[in-house]
A and B are shown apart, each in its own frame.
Chain A
Amino acid sequence: DTGVSQDPRHKITKRGQNVTFRCDPISEHNRLYWYRQTLGQGPEFLTYFQNEAQLEKSRLLSDRFSAERPKGSFSTLEIQRTEQGDSAMYLCASSLGRQGRAYEQYFGPGTRLTVT
């Protein structure tokens, strides 16, 4: 399977615990995005990497959230001191990215987080 992969697919954690999710993009894609989706809503942008550089972070991303893409390949999203409001589907997407044209983003299967 050469699509975007995410791990784990489901995570249940207690409030206050830290969680980390992983995303492996399509291999030739240099852009990687994290989105969050809650029930009945479309995905909301969280952050974006071009290669290893984190170029934009949404105001939705509080200081409890951190994302990395250390070698420009896979990425991790960590949530510290989880709260019940963090319960959502966390989606990763990747795309090519070259100046002058638009590229479609391809999504992974998501990690569903439940904070109890």
Chain B
Amino acid sequence: EDKVVQSPLSLVVHEGDTVTLNCSYEVTNFRSLLWYKQEKKAPTFLFMLTSSGIEKKSGRLSSILDKKELFSILNITATQTGDSAIYLCAVELSPYINTGTASKLTFGTGTRLQVTL
């Protein structure tokens, strides 16, 4: 069964700290890994990673994928209270090897990040 595991489950840091969130996966027919930020509403897209070792960066957030070790990390530097949210990792499966799986996303349970003053 396809599985996505995130750690830690929750994290409390002080404003200005740097955090690293982890996502490991065991899936067949990997296509891409996506990170989303979820506040009190729907997930907001952050990054999509398809190739190993290529860092994606957006402001204070960055992410990288290791397809050999089957994990990804999401880094947030100089955290702010507005970064408080649940960060979701999801894996997309390839439709080509097993057409029955389409391109649905399999999500982890998320990491709840709280940034305090």
Contact = CB atoms under 8 A, between A and B. Distances in A.
Contact of A48 (B31, B36, B50, B103): B103
B107 A109 contact: no
Interface string B44-62: 1100101000000000000
A105 interface: yes
A109 B50 CA distance: 26
Contacts of B102: 48, 50, 55-56
Specify which of A56, A91, A102, A110 lies most central, judged by the most chain B CB atoms within 10 Å of its CB. A102
A43 B109 contact: no
Contacts of A74: none
Contacts of A107: 36, 42-45
B21 to A, nearest CB: 13
A95 B88 CA distance: 18
Nearest to A46: B104
Interface string A76-116: 00000000000000010101010000111111111000000
A48 B90 CA distance: 16
Interface string B11-26: 0000000000000000
Nearest to B110: A42
Given A48-B102, A102-B92, A104-B48, A42 B109 contact: yes
A3 to B, nearest CB: 9
26 contacts: A4-B42, A31-B103, A33-B104, A35-B105, A41-B110, A42-B109, A44-B107, A45-B105, A48-B102, A50-B102, A56-B100, A56-B101, A56-B104, A91-B42, A102-B32, A102-B48, A102-B103, A103-B103, A104-B45, A105-B45, A105-B105, A106-B45, A107-B36, A107-B44, A109-B42, A110-B41
Interface of B: 4, 31-32, 34, 36, 41-45, 48, 50, 88, 90, 92, 100-110
